[in-house]
Amino acid sequence: MNKVVRLGASVLALSLVAGSAWALDEEFYKQAGSKFSGVTLRGVTESTPASNYVRNVLAPKFEELTGIRVDIETTSWDQMYDKAIKDMEAKTGIYDMVYIEQDIVYAYLARDFLVDLTAKLKEKPDLKAPDFDEAKLTTFANYFRGANGDLYGMPMEAFIKPYVYRTDLFNDPEIMAAFKEKTGRDLAPAKTHEEYTQIADFFTQWGKDHKLDLWGSTAQAHTGHPASWYEFFESVAPTFGVYNWGIDAANNYGATVEHGGLMNSPQAKEAMKWWLHLRDIGPPESVQSTWSEVATTMAAGRAAQGLVYGENVAWIASDPNQSKVVGKISVALPPLSEGVLKAAEEGKGYIGYYDGGAFGLPVTSKNPDATALFLQFLAEEDLQPDWAVAGSRITTTATYESPKVTELNDKLGNYFGMLRDDGKLFGGAPPYPFHAQLREATAPIFYDILTGKVDPDAGLDQMAAKAEQELTDLGYRK
């Protein structure tokens, strides 16, 4: 999911933009856009730093060049999906562009909701910007390609979910000495789940002993919101070697151990108990935390470590208007079970979540040509560095080398470097067109585990059985 705090672009980012000189081919956009002058494009997206940047900065610049107005509606995650899908299903054509999250794109493609952007620009070369080249996009763009290899969504944000930790705490001499005395080892970012638990337990107790608002770990464990379901299956379970939600698509979509799946495997049950323990020793807000609250918890200095969606890392690390831990965080790979890193390096697994999204052009759009022009504008390389600074997102390879990005990277504990070098170790959601249906079918049982109505082991058994029932009903299991 798109796991970012619902706040506007930072003051830092906007100040950088104000002094920028864009070197894109303005004359092309002026000429190509002249035939659409007076047209208004409408888009719907989640209220995220990256989306707010489009609304507040890029859309006005595009209108200035072309005369095409772009109204970007930023709303909550659930409202975004509801509005976009209903519009495309009813073919009302309200929206000319919709935010497509990496995990839902397969369902959209299966329902033929989206225009093939590659084909469209070939059919209408007069619309193609001279310097637009799909090859300049990062490999994250591959998540938005159809079976024919064509692009069906223009990537606008991409981020991994790293292990974020407080350097001021991990490097504090008094804390380091106390940890060494208690555990017999040096305090350092955890490489295993056991080490992570040890650190979390230590800092929660340290907070109690010193009367601090400090706990050992964040936990995205809301008892009635999909954010917790995603936290477990996309971020926690893979670190234990449970991939693709524990479903074996190549083996008749088995979910139970009995049928070749891993949803109720020993690894999944171990992962669930590990995560629930972190919730139990975490900040009180953990039981009501979605992706938003995890970020604000870390920014408020209430946790020593946590798995935090990378799109939040920049503002947590650098924006004093939103964060109390500016200059006090760094990143590392998530803690892993034995063999998980090797599997990821060999392309047989992944160590955590690679998320992000794109803007897609619905086939129901009333202004497809003007929209195609705007989507290319969003890929202009000259616009990327300030956008990266504003939203911790990178979608073109050249952005990594920008001086502004490399300067900020030093303040982020090398987050952008990790995204570039280790992004291949992370994975997006599996390519399931039944994504939403399966989540909704199993979520009630999952929430019962979180609220204690059902034992974790029994709950995962029930979830795996329910998943297979749903997949049978949908026609995937034969």
Q: What is the pLDDT of residues 137-159, one digit of tens each?
A: 999 999 999 999 999 999 999 99
Answer yes or no: is 279 within a domain.
yes
**Which amino acid does the sequence have at 346?**
E
The reported pTM is 0.88
Mark whether 394 and 286 lie in a shared domain: no
On whether residue 477 sits in a domain, the answer given is no
Q: What is the pLDDT of residues 229-248, one digit of tens each?
A: 999 999 999 999 999 999 99
Asked if the structure places residue 170 within a domain, the reply is yes
Q: Are residues 154 and 48 in the same domain?
A: yes
- Rounded to whole angstroms, the Cα distance separating 268 from 75 reads 34
Question: Which stretches within 300-426 are classed as H helix?
Answer: 313-318, 340-345, 368-377, 384-391, 403-411, 415-422
Considering only residues 263 and 50, tell me which one the structure prediction assigns the higher pLDDT.
263
For residue 20, is pLDDT > 70?
no
| Overall size of the chain counted in residues | 478
* 315: pLDDT strictly greater than 70: yes
For residues 365 and 36, is the Cβ–Cβ distance under 8 A? no
Average pLDDT score, the chain? 93
Together in a domain, 222 and 336: yes
Taking 60 as the threshold, does the pLDDT of residue 46 lie above it? Answer: yes
Return the structure tokens found at 365.
Answer: 């759009």
Give the Cβ contact number of residue 403 at 10 Å: 8
Residue type for 174, please? E
Evaluate if residue 22 carries a pLDDT over 80: no
Q: Is 196 exposed, middle or buried (0-12, 13-18, 19+ CB in 10 A)?
A: buried
pLDDT of residue 8 exceeding 80, the answer is no
What pLDDT sits at residue 314? 84
Question: Both ends of the chain: CA-CA distance in Å?
Answer: 29
In contact, 222 and 287? CB cutoff 8 Å: yes
Note whether 153 and 257 are same-domain residues.
no
Whether residues 360 and 317 fall in one domain: no
Mean pLDDT over 191-214 rounds to: 98
φ/ψ bin of 211: left (φ > 0), alpha (ψ from -120 to 50), beta (otherwise)? left
Residues 209 and 252 placed together within one structural domain of the fold: yes
- Dist. CA 201–CA 92, nearest whole Å: 53
Which of the listed residues 425, 444, 467 is the one where a domain comes to its end? 425
% of residues, the chain, pLDDT over 70: 95
140/36 Cα distance (integer angstroms): 31
108 vs 23, residue with greater confidence: 108
- Check whether 327 has a pLDDT greater than 60: yes
| Residue that terminates a domain, selected from 425, 441, 461 | 425
Closest CA to 379 of 2, 40, 62: 62
Coil, strand or helix at 273: helix
DSSP E strand boundaries for 195-309: 305-307
pLDDT digits (tens, 9 = 90+) for 352-388: 999 889 999 999 999 999 999 999 999 999 999 999 9
Task: Report residue 129's pLDDT band, with 50, 70 and 90 as the boundaries.
Answer: very high
Contact 394, 416 (CB under 8 A): yes
* Mean pLDDT in residue range 291-304: 96
Average pLDDT over residues 429-458: 96
Per-residue pLDDT at 9 exceeds 50: no
- Mean pLDDT computed over 442-455: 98
| pLDDT for the residue numbered 104 | 87
Q: In CATH, what number is assigned to the domain containing residue 194?
A: 3.40.190.10
Query: Per DSSP, what are the bridge partners of residue 355?
Result: 159
Do 248 and 100 share a structural domain? no
Do both 149 and 221 map to the same domain?
no
More confident position, 463 or 310: 463
The count of domains in the chain is 2
Name the band, by pLDDT with cuts 50, 70 and 90, for residue 113.
very high
Residue with the two structure tokens 């295993």: 192
Which structural domain range is residue 236 located in? Answer: 163-345
Res 23: pLDDT? 63
193 φ, ψ (degrees, to nearest 5): -65, -35
Q: Give residue 339's pLDDT.
A: 98
3-state SS assignment for residue 100? strand
Last residue of a domain, one of 377, 393, 425: 425
Mean per-residue pLDDT, 67-88: 94
pLDDT at residue 12 greater than cutoff 50: no
d(CA 470, CA 466): 6
Bridge partners, residue 214, by sequence: none
The verdict on residue 391 lying in a domain is yes
